[in-house]
């Protein structure tokens, strides 16, 4: 059986690999052609937005891994109730139960 920790670590690795690709792509020298540069920049913004959302997810994953280490994983950080296993399975990095989820 796959533990939540394994799921979180696998997701973490995937994000880090993704972010690595994004960094590489952003670092590429812009094309010399002026018109190409405008569209290239738009692509960079999309990549940056994607990178930001992945960074946020990475933080949630790290926080969840911390809770596993502390033995509080699966408890809602807000009300302290147990988070439903189905919810944890769907969103392994969630710190909230169904009721406290924003």
Q: Which of 79, 82, 85, 89 binds Zn ion (CB under 5 A)?
A: 79
- Which one of 6-14, 15-23, 46-54, 78-86 is the stretch in contact with Zn ion (CB under 5 A)? 78-86
Out of 6, 23, 78, 85, the only residue in the binding site for Zn ion (CB under 5 A) is 78
Cβ-count burial 27-47 (b if 16+ within 10 Å, e if not): eeeeeeeeeeeeeeeeebeeb
Q: How far is the CB of 101 from Zn ion (least distance, A)?
A: 8
Residues contacting residue 64 through CB under 8 Å, at least 6 positions apart: 4, 8, 73, 92, 93, 94, 95
Choose between 18 and 75: whose C-beta lies nearer to Zn ion: 75
Q: In the complex, which residues of this chain contact Zn ion (CB under 5 A)?
A: 76, 78-79, 97, 100
């Amino acid at each position: 059986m796959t533990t939540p920790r394994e799921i979180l670590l696998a997701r973490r690795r995937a994000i880090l690999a993704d972010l690595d690709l994004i960094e590489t792509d952003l670092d590429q020298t812009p094309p010399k052609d002026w018109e190409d540069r405008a569209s290239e920049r738009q692509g960079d913004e999309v990549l940056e937005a994607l990178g930001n959302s992945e960074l946020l997810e990475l933080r949630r994953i790290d926080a969840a891994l911390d809770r596993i280490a502390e033995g509080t994983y699966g408890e809602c950080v807000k009300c302290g109730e147990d988070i439903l296993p189905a919810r944890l399975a769907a969103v392994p990095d969630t710190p909230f139960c169904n009721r406290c989820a924003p």
